[in-house]
Every structure is written in C-alpha cells, then in structure tokens.
Amino acid sequence: MLPTSTEDQFPGQNATQKEHQMASIGFIGLGNMGLPMASNLQKAEYKVSGYDVFDTAQQAARSSGLALANSNTDAALNADAVVIMLPNGAIAIQVAKEILPKMTPSSLLIDCSTIDVASAHEVHRLATVAGILCLDAPVSGGVGGATAGSLTFMVGGTNEAFATGEPLFAVMGQKAVHCGDGGTGQAAKICNNMLLGISMIGTCEAFALAEKLGLSQSALFDVVSTSSGSCWSVNTYCPVPGIGPKSPADNAYKSGFSATLMLKDLGLAQQSANDTDAVTPLGSHAKNLYQQMVDAGFGETDFSGMIEFLTDAKDGKI
Ligand code: NAD
C-alpha cells in the first residue's frame, strides 16, 4: 500500500518520498498529458507500468523510456494505485470496469481525466462496489504543467483516498485541493473552465474594442492588469501578441490549451447546468462561440486565438 500523508499541502514531501519510492503505479492513457505525468512518477522512483490502447502513444512512451504493460489490466495488476488519463467519461467507465476487478483490494484508483460529473459518480460507485478507494482528480496546467510537474489537482473522494493519493499529486503537481466527496473535483474543473472560457472571450472583446478606439493595447494591459478588470486571461495569458508575459499569442496561437478542449469543457459545464437547472447564460454563449471557432477550422488553435476568430469573422474573412 501507498503510505498516507495527512499533512495539508505536500509538506514533508522529501521525507516521505523515500518511503514510497518502490510503490507500484499503473498508468493508463499515455497521451499528451498522461505520458509526462507517468514519466514524472517514474523519475521519482515509483515503479510505473503504463499502457495506452493507441499504438503510436504506446511507442512514444516506449521511446521515452517509460516501463510498459501489455494491456490495461496488466498495468493495473498488483498496483498500489492506478492513474487513468483518458479522453471522456464513457471511456473512463469502460476502463474502470475492465481494471477494477483485477486491482488489489483497498488499492487506489485516481481518475485524472476531465469527464462529466455523472460519469465521475459512476466510476466512484464501481470502485466502491469493488472495494477500491477512488478519487476524481482532474487537472489544470496543461501539457506544460504535466511536463514540469506543476499541475493543480481538483480532487473529489473520501479523506482516506485523498490522503493515500497525496504523495502522487506531490510528484505530478504543485497543488492538490480536496474539494469534497466523489464528483466534486470534476465539478470544480468545469466551473473553473467555464469561467475561464467566459473571461477569455471578455478579454478578447476588450482588446478588440480598445484597438477600434485608438487606445494602444499595451496601455490597456497596463491599466486592466492592475485594475478591477484584471484576471488570469489578461494578466498571465493575454491574447494579444507582445503584450504581457509570454503566452500562445506570441507563438502564432500554437496550442497550449486548444479551442477543441475548451469546447469540450464548456460542453461538460452546459451538460451539468442542464442536469441541475443552473442559470449559466454566458457559459452557454461561450460554448456557442467556441463551437463556431472549432467549426471554422480553428480547433487546434489555442483558445486565446478567439481574438483572431472574432475579428476575422466580423471582417468576413471566415
Ligand atoms: P490525449 O488524447 O492526448 O490522450 C488520451 C489517451 O488515452 C490517448 O493516447 C488514447 O489512445 C488513450 N486511450 C483512449 N482510450 C483508451 C483505452 N480504452 N485504454 C487505454 N488508453 C486509451 O488527451 P490528453 O490531452 O492527454 O488529455 C487527457 C485528459 O486530460 C482529457 O480528459 C482532457 O480533457 C484532460 N486535459 C487535457 C489538457 C491538455 O492541455 N491536453 C489539460 C487539462 C485536462
């Protein structure tokens, strides 16, 4: 078993790290996010066994030196914890059904995928029936954060499961917030990303309007970044090239976080809003705008490229 840590935010990481160095971790889903996360666990001397159903991903993992299994169940067998990092809820449930019967009793399943809240509850239910601890633990920080080991985890599940998973979050990330019971990690993720989608569109509109008004975009940045309009989309990830800290805008909007992934998360937020009768008119509008951006062929563009999409659409270039 993974030793547990009940301390708040990864204190004592170095002291406890040695104890679990040989703990076995199954890692399923070795895509853009999963491979660097699994590699960081292996670098921290966990005994990792990875698997991806997609040949190319499996080969990339092999070339990077990750230890590999031959199937999902192989990866899960005898593991102290299994981390899954998969595209959607249906696949997460399918993989959970595959591996849970093979997992060691009282070991831990951590689902880091971004999925709908209902599917997250189903994964928790399946794990409970199988006698396995479970956490939904979606992440913020993208591929850069996964590679640097600086992700933020939003975690739902029991105190016992969270304490058991904490040492792994400490390797893969810089922060893990225990949000509450099963499903609350996914709830936090979609609320955060709905707000991010809305704030990015607002930021793009403000900079586009400034340009039309003859206000320099660097002056607008200097004002807004220290005024009441300041937000992450302005201060850290400004959608205008050459303004503020380096961001995808300075790299031709090559994706840090693609418009397709933003659309996915806004879709999950609307699904939850419909299920719970929550009022989210701007969330709905943001989803429609990202849908248009993706339909126009900008799915792989960074989500901050919304500024170009809006301007080009207005000028009739799209
Ligand atoms: P990805 O498509 O690159 O990776 C997913 C991997 O899962 C693929 O390699 C795929 O082959 C594998 N897979 C699919 N079905 C499988 C199965 N049955 N068994 C084993 N492997 C299977 O996606 P990603 O960008 O790594 O994202 C993974 C998750 O993280 C998604 O839920 C995404 O929404 C979320 N996320 C992504 C980012 C990002 O910037 N990419 C940021 C935050 C959260």
What is the per-residue pLDDT across 198-255, written as a single tens digit (0 to 9) for each?
A: 999 999 999 999 999 999 999 999 999 999 999 999 999 999 999 999 999 999 999 8
Q: Does the C-beta of 193 come closer than 6 Å to ligand 1?
A: no
**Nearest CA owner, ligand 1 atom 12:** 29
Q: According to the model, what pLDDT value does residue 314 have? A: 73
Is 0.95 topped by the overall pTM? no
Q: What percent of the chain has pLDDT over 90?
A: 89
Report whether pLDDT(45) > 90.
yes
Q: Tell how strand 151-156 and strand 173-180 pair up.
A: parallel
Residue 311: pLDDT band with limits 50, 70, 90: confident
Nearest atom (ligand 1) to Cα of 258: 40
Q: Give counts: helices (H), strands (E), the chain.
A: 14, 8
Cα(32) to centroid of ligand 1, in Å?
Answer: 7
Phi and psi torsions of 175, nearest 5°? -155, 140
The two structure tokens encoding residue 8:
């708040």
Q: Does the C-beta of 85 come closer than 6 Å to ligand 1?
A: yes
Give the active site residues.
189
Average pLDDT of the chain is: 93
